[in-house]
Structure formats: structure tokens, C-alpha cells
Structure 1
Amino acid sequence: MDKYVPFCPVRQDNEIIQDFRLPPQRKGQAMTRLGYIRTSTGRQLIDRQILALEKECDQVFIEDGVSAVKKHRPVYEQVTAQLKPGDVFVVSSLDRAFRSVLDALGELEKLHRRKIQFKSLTQNFDTTTPEGKLLYVIAAALAEWERQTLSQRTKEGLAAAKKRGKTLGRPHKLIEADIVKARQLLDNNPCTSITEIAENLSVCPRTLSRAIHRD
């Protein structure tokens, strides 16, 4: 079975299923632990994060091909809607679950109001305490800053690539480094389109789109 399913994939026991029904609780288990991760382009890193979640959770839900800053996340919304008081919502890291500091803080408050526990495998702190909540906000702010910094560097790199192509006086070829930069920019900047990036690289948008989405 293909490891990545484009619509609402769910992993359970190393298999992907297309079902949002929660697994039955194990004997003596007082809570359900659901894992969530948003994927985009960094497949190798995401694979490791998914495996880490599978060790901690009863089920792992994968939001595939969704930008870091996209507001509508159907898988996330369905998973969190099914959590009950006492359950645990587990993410690999804050940047794989939330769009910004405000989003991370707002979603945490919603979970706490519903008596749902939160756990990040990367940033392991108790968000029910003032100190833990402070660390949570700092971690979310750092993730947002890194995303914005990467976006700016990627834009500058694309602009430099375009300038080099014009200086050499020949059509710019789409190399792997450009594809990686384009993927990073799309993943971290909601205001940038494939067409805009393609223009900077002097290639056809359709050519760039195929290169970005190939496995």
C-alpha cells in the first residue's frame, strides 16, 4: 500500500486507513492517545516523526500536502473534534501542527477547556503549568520565526538564481536545488504561488508544479 494517501490518511499499526472511527480502548486504558502530523515536502524527516508518533499513540492521523499556514485543515478538525475529556492529543512538534503563535495558543486553550491533554514529542513540557505554558509560547514563536526566516532566505535565493540565469544569457534549467527552495517557499509562505516562483526561475509553472509534486 502506498505510504502517502492524498486524502485524510490515518495510520494504525503501520497501515494507512481512510477511517476516522477511533480505536477501541485497550483493557485498563483510561484514555485514548491520538497523534497528528501535517506533511508537505520533507518526506524523510516526516517518516521519522510519524514512526515516533506511532510508538506513543493509539492512532496517527496524517494531514498530507497541506501548507504550514493554511487555515482549513480537515484532518486536524476531525481528529480534535473526536477527542474526549481525559484523552491526549499528541504532535511530533509544534511546527507540524500549528500555523503561528496565535494559532498554537488558541488551539491549546480549546483543548484545555475540554479537559484534553496536550503533548509534543519534541517540546516536552507540561502546558497545564504557568512555566510550561510560557515555554510552549516561546517554542511556537521560535517555530514561526524560523518559518519566516526560511521563507525570506528562499525568496532571496530564487531571486539570485533568476539573476544568474539572465547574466549567463541562456534559459535557466530547473535543478534540484531550485526545486527544494520552491518546496520550502510554498510550505512556509501562504502568499507565494507556483506561478510567481516559476517566473523567478524562468520556467513554465506546469513544469515546476510537476517537479515539486513528484515523489
Structure 2
Amino acid sequence: MQVIKEYCAARGYELVIIYSDEGSAKNIKGRPEFIKMYNHFLADPEIEYVIVYKLDRAFRKLLDSLYFWDKIKENNKYFISILDNINTIDPHSKATYIFSALHAERERENTLLRTSGGMEVKAAQGFFMVV
């Protein structure tokens, strides 16, 4: 969050509010703070940008990110991902945005595979009870 604060300060952006979901969810429906942010962002004409540290912190599914892209474009609003160097005010940012969103979804899927694989190994070693 400090990176976002510094980014805004360096560019003269007024930071209105920081939303942060606790835990993890596979999609937007399981992220109440994201939903609040999204509704606030679209409803408030004074807010121009959503700024995130990294795109994969905002989206875990490609379809969610594409839906968000369409909504921000329809409402003349913008999205910035600091680490991915994405700013949708740039008309050429769409390819980078989509590629980063696809990579985020793939990374999430890989994490799930590694986690479930590790659980299976531990279960085989007797560390988990199977009922």
C-alpha cells in the first residue's frame, strides 16, 4: 500500500480511499472490498483511476478483467497497475493489460495445482486425515 501512496504522491493524484480484501478468492464474487471499490469507482464522477500494485492483485480470472476493461472504457475511467506498467489512458495498453490478466489467471491455476499436489503428498505420508 505504501507503493501506491508514493505513486500517487509523486504524480499529484489524490488518493481517495484504499480498499483491501482479506484472504483470497477465486473470483470477484468472493471479494466484498473489491465489489465496494468497483461500485464506488463507477458511481463517483470525481474518481478517474483505480490504482493497484500489480494486476494479479485485482483480478484472478481473465473474464473478470475483461469485463472490468469494458466498464472502465464505457465510463471514461482508467486503471493503473504500477508493477505491470499499465495505464489504460494509453490507447496501446490493452494488449499488455490482457496479457497480464491471462498470466495472473494462469499463475492462480498453477498455485492451485501445486497446493493440491502438496496436500496429496502429505496425505499419502499420513499428515492429513481422510474421512
Q: TM-score range by the shorter chain?
A: 0.7 to 0.9
- State the match for 1:96 in structure 2: 57
- State the match for 1:52 in structure 2: 3
CA distance, structure 2, for counterparts of residue 98 and residue 108 of structure 1: 11
User: Does the C-alpha gap of structure 1 residues 130 and 117 become closer, same or farther in structure 2, counting only changes over 3 Å?
Assistant: closer
**Structure 2: 5+ residue stretches without partners:** 9-14
Task: Give 1:77 deviation, angstroms.
Answer: 2.3
The one-letter code matched in structure 2 to 1:52 is V
- State the match for 1:140 in structure 2: 101
**Alignment map for 1:1-215 (pairs within 5 Å):** 50-55=1-6, 56=8, 57-83=15-41, 84-85=44-45, 87-129=48-90, 131-165=92-126, 172=127, 201-202=128-129
Task: Give 1:72 deviation, angstroms.
Answer: 4.2
- Aligned-pair identity (%): 27
Instruction: Tell which deviates more after alignment, 50-59 or 106-115.
Output: 50-59
Deviations 1:98-140 (A, max 9, x none): 1311101111210121111111111112324453101110011
Q: Which has the higher helix share?
A: 2
Superposition TM-score, scaled by structure 1 size: 0.50
Q: How many residues align?
A: 121
Task: Give 1:66 deviation, angstroms.
Answer: 4.1
The one-letter code matched in structure 1 to 2:17 is Q
- Computed over aligned residues only, the root mean square deviation of the Cα atoms, in angstroms, reads 2.2
Q: Higher relative contact order at CA 8 Å, sep ≥6: structure 1 or structure 2?
A: 2
User: Does the C-alpha gap of structure 1 residues 88 and 129 become closer, same or farther in structure 2, counting only changes over 3 Å?
Assistant: closer
CA distance, structure 2, for counterparts of residue 66 and residue 160 of structure 1: 23
- Alignment partner of 1:89: what SS? strand
The one-letter code matched in structure 2 to 1:62 is S
User: Does the C-alpha gap of structure 1 residues 80 and 70 become closer, same or farther in structure 2, counting only changes over 3 Å?
Assistant: closer
Superposition TM-score, scaled by structure 2 size: 0.78
Deviations 1:155-175 (A, max 9, x none): 11111111122xxxxxx3xxx
**Structure 1: 5+ residue stretches without partners:** 1-49, 166-171, 173-200, 205-215
